[in-house]
A = this chain, B = another copy of it.
Amino acid sequence: MISEKMKPLVNNNSAIRAMFEEGKRLAAQYGAENVYDFSLGNPNVPAPAEVNQAIIDLVNEEDSVFLHGYMSNAGYEDVRRTVADSLNKRFGTHFHENNILMTVGAASGLNVILKTLLNPGDEVLTFAPYFVEYGNYVRNYDGNLVVVSPNTETFMPNLEEFAEKIGSRTKAVIINNPNNPTGVVYSAEILTAMADILRRKQEELGIQIVLISDEPYRELAYDGVEVPYVTKFYDNTVICYSYSKSLSLPGERIGYLVIPDELTDSEEVFGAAVIANRVLGCVNAPSLMQRVIMRCIDSKVNLEAYDRNRNLLYNGLKELGFSCVKPQGAFYLFVKSPEPDEKAFCAACKKHNILVVPGTSFACPGFVRVSYCVSYGQIERSLPAFRKVAEEYGLC
């Protein structure tokens, strides 16, 4: 009954589903307190109090037909202007409302821009390890995802291989900064080098290459590290943003695309993206949440909570002899597996009720992703279990 394109997705999904079911089974058997689920990317820090207050105020103050009604498919103009102004203030950019397209989260934003840009057979480059859905998003529009292999020492982009893999069918590049699953942040130097390569290749090949920066973790950066704003490095840039993590609203599906004036054919691309957003069936980003964003444009989640988790888990695992690049952003550790087959390592962890995701899911075998968007208590309780795993591998 289902389409040929969906079949591999359904088959592949079973593995993830099996893991989810396993977590539920373990929790039922040993009690939720005694299962250490580090597999999910669901924020455990609540939305800032201003968000719920804004919701209540909006419902009390605004006309229902306006608050819950249709607006332009791109989103309310004043919301888009507020987003543009806020970015301009923070990053010295010069966006206006017609650079901002409100979307049903970053995942939908990525779909919208890929539908806007891709012809069948076009190539989209990305850097391993990468969020596994990128492949699905690109294939939705009959594009091919081309993966640059990881630098497993630093998890910084392998720019030499990147330059080699750009070809006449390259239409876009997706980066994720700060990065899921490694937590690394690309510096200004790296973005400058990447932009230089892209400009050179555009000229050499006589093509346009769009750099799509997927930034749901932008506000989750630690140690005072700066996450550079990518449009300032390269003209053909599109930003995909989400409030899922920055305001802990993942279920609400609210984010935006930035399509700057500097992008080639910017106005046409923006117009087409608005249509893509409509015909993909989103029509517009959820209206009440758009109004919330406008009122909470300067709100932040409690980053301290994630930072405490990061330090506890990172230091704890290091002391036990595990190896890991200390992340500067997002809420993941990407830990080296003590044996080459990281799936066997995941299985060894599971024996101690620890659930982590194999790096193969991010096109980077030999590593596992450990999410620390969990309670501090779960991390504390898990460390003795991690110790047992470390002892089994002779790490401590």
User: Residues on A close to B: CB < 8 A?
Assistant: 1-6, 9-10, 13, 40, 42-47, 51-52, 55-56, 59-60, 63-65, 67-71, 104-105, 107-112, 115-119, 133, 136-137, 140-141, 208, 210, 248-253, 263-265, 268-269, 271-272, 275-276, 278-289
Of B2, B65, B282, B287, the contact of A265 (CB 8 Å cutoff) = B2
Q: Are A9 and B282 in contact (CB under 8 A)?
A: no
Q: Are A116 and B281 in contact (CB under 8 A)?
A: no
A123 to B110 CA separation, bound complex (whole angstroms): 28
* 7 closest residue pairs by CB, A with B: A251-B287, A108-B281, A111-B281, A46-B64, A107-B281, A1-B265, A136-B279
Q: Are B108 and A280 in contact (CB under 8 A)?
A: yes
When distances are taken between beta carbons in the complex, the residues of chain B under 8 Å from A5 are 115, 119
Q: Given known contacts A44-B65, A250-B70, A279-B140, is B269 in contact with A2 (CB within 8 Å)?
A: yes
Q: Given known contacts A64-B248, A250-B68, A252-B286, is B275 in contact with A13 (CB within 8 Å)?
A: yes
Most buried by B among A133, A251, A285, A288: A251
A47 to B62 CA separation, bound complex (whole angstroms): 12
Q: Given known contacts A275-B9, A279-B140, A289-B286, is B251 in contact with A70 (CB within 8 Å)?
A: yes
Most buried by B among A45, A46, A71, A286: A286
Q: Are B280 and A280 in contact (CB under 8 A)?
A: yes
When distances are taken between beta carbons in the complex, the residues of chain B under 8 Å from A108 are 280-283
A52 CB to nearest B CB, Å? 5
When distances are taken between beta carbons in the complex, the residues of chain B under 8 Å from A56 are 55-56, 59-60
A46 to B52 CA separation, bound complex (whole angstroms): 22
Most buried by B among A3, A44, A59, A60: A3
A112 to B56 CA separation, bound complex (whole angstroms): 32
A118 to B285 CA separation, bound complex (whole angstroms): 26
A113 CB to nearest B CB, Å? 10
Q: Given known contacts A69-B43, A115-B3, A116-B6, is B283 in contact with A105 (CB within 8 Å)?
A: yes
